[in-house]
Amino acid sequence: MDNREQQERREARRKRRLKNQVIVYIVFLILLLVLGTGIGYGVFALTKSREAAEEKEQDRQELIEEMLVTEESIPSVEPTPTPEPEVTEPEVVEPTREEKLEAYVDERIAQMPLEDKVAGLFVVAPEAITGVSACVRAGDSTKGALEANPVGGLVYFSKNIQSKEQLTEMLSNTAQYARYPLFMAVDEEGGSAVSRIGSSIGPKVDSAGDIGATGDPQNAYQAGAAIGSAMWELGFNVDFAPVADLANVEGSIMQGRSYGSDASAVSGFVTSMVNGLQEQKVSACLKHFPGIGSTTEDTHDGMVSSDRTREQFLAEELAVFQAGIDAGADFVMVSHMGAPALTGNNDPAIFSRELVTNILREQMGFQGVVITDALDMSAISAYYAADEASIMAVLAGCDMLLMPEDYEKAYTGVLEAVRNGNIDEERINDSLRRIYRIKYADMVE
């Protein structure tokens, strides 16, 4: 190879080196340019960020200064304390007197054994449980008799009365001996026909017939108040009066004992007598439901029936009883008279569920004590055994059984009827509630 070729090769290599160097320089310059641009942008962004932060801080300082100025211009006010939440006591509803009485009565009945419950349905003469011929005092024999036979009430007659002092002491002792409160009853209508205490120790008041003839019901009120005051002082708390019957047929069995024959007029006298008695704390007993004045025969002697129509009974006799019920009479006495227009048969009224429960209790609204007329009267005793009559009366709706011919037999019969399910015990409880609402009425406020 000659020198010319070598020279050319060296020149070519030199040019390639120069070219490569130029490329390197250009790339380097580009990199420097990019780097410089990035650094410049970064510096610019950092500066802007710093400026924004400084502006934000300045704004914050200005806001704080404004708040401080505003706060200084506001008067200082003490913070209102948060009130304690008011505690509301639950409202206590005070039970009514009636509710208290119901609770009291239910509690007492719940504590009674069945034997005592059944005995509590009976009102008997004291001789029926003591065995003596005429009770005129109450001592150990009476105490023992009441312990063995806690009857619901005792009824007294003229043979039991010797003097005011004797009667007062006997009734007081008897009441103290009783395990449960007693109804102490007497027939005191006024006049002379049916007057147990008035005929011997007073007070003496006119008969219902004479009072009715005056035309002034206020006279019946005064008679009731006089009788009631005397009875309460002696120790009685139930009077089997007033007579609410109408003497509305010639020869009426109630002539003289009734206030008259006009239902409207008699209603006023009956209402006044009820008020006079019960204002003296003596329970009144309307008798003889549904009204026996339309007969001329006596149930003491045998069966008696009335031919009054249902319409007549409703318009007249029952209107008088309704007036007495509305006046608040505690008792209604049901008679032994047959009233087929009301009951559908000639059976004694005390055995009629239609009459006692449907009419008297439900239709007429009587909520007091329904008591039978005396079960030893011939209208009953001549045709029915003592236990049979008592059971039938209870099933009809009667609450109390007055003077069965044989108390022990009647009591045992009713007790056994409850035990074997023929009479529901709750039926007995219902009667006792009505009885004890009266007996315990003054024991709650």
Does 2 have pLDDT greater than 70? no
Does 83 have pLDDT greater than 70? no
442 noted as active-site residue: no
Structural domain range at position 28: 1-69
Asked whether the whole model's pTM tops 0.95, one would answer no
As a whole number, mean pLDDT of residues 306-317 equals 97
pLDDT at 199: 80
Same domain, 24 and 166: no
Task: Give the integer Cα–Cα distance in Å for 241 and 283.
Answer: 9
Asked whether residue 140 is domain-assigned, the answer is yes
Same domain, 40 and 112: no
Instruction: Round the average pLDDT of the chain to a whole number and report it.
Output: 89
CATH number at residue 403: 3.20.20.300
User: 351 near 381, Cβ under 8 Å?
Assistant: no
Asked whether residue 84 is domain-assigned, the answer is no
Same domain, 173 and 54: no
Task: Give the integer Cα–Cα distance in Å for 356 and 363.
Answer: 10
Asked whether residue 253 is domain-assigned, the answer is yes
Asked whether residue 74 is domain-assigned, the answer is no
Beta strand 188-190 with 194-195: parallel, antiparallel or unpaired? antiparallel
Task: Give the integer Cα–Cα distance in Å for 160 and 130.
Answer: 13
Which residue type, as a one-letter code, is found at position 218?
Q
Same domain, 297 and 360: yes
**Could you say which of 26, 50, 69 is where a domain stops?**
69
User: 335 near 281, Cβ under 8 Å?
Assistant: no
Same domain, 29 and 152: no
Same domain, 103 and 177: yes
Beta strand 283-289 with 331-334: parallel, antiparallel or unpaired? parallel
Same domain, 122 and 246: yes
Asked whether residue 291 is domain-assigned, the answer is yes
What the block records as the tokens of 173 is: 């002792």
Q: How many domains does the chain have?
A: 2
198-232 pLDDT, tens digit each: 888 989 999 999 999 999 999 999 999 999 999 99
**Could you say which of 69, 85, 109 is where a domain stops?**
69
Read out DSSP for 350-393? GG-HIIIIIIIIIIS---SEEEESPTTSHHHHTTS-HHHHHHHH
pLDDT at 15: 72
Half-sphere exposure of 346 (CA within 13 A, CB side): 8
Per annotation, catalytic residue among 300, 326, 406, 430 = 300
Same domain, 129 and 19: no
What the block records as the tokens of 201 is: 């120790």
360-387 pLDDT, tens digit each: 999 999 999 999 999 999 999 999 999 9
For residue 280, the tally of other CB atoms under 10 A from its CB is 19
Per annotation, catalytic residue among 245, 373, 376, 399 = 373
- pLDDT greater at residue 12 or residue 179: 179
List Cα–Cα distances, 238 to 21, 56, 228, 231, 325, in angstroms. 146, 103, 9, 8, 16
User: 368 near 410, Cβ under 8 Å?
Assistant: no
Same domain, 65 and 112: no
373 noted as active-site residue: yes
Which residues are registered as beta bridge partners of 153? 123, 183
Burial (0-12, 13-18, 19+ Cβ within 10 Å), 39: exposed
Same domain, 7 and 135: no
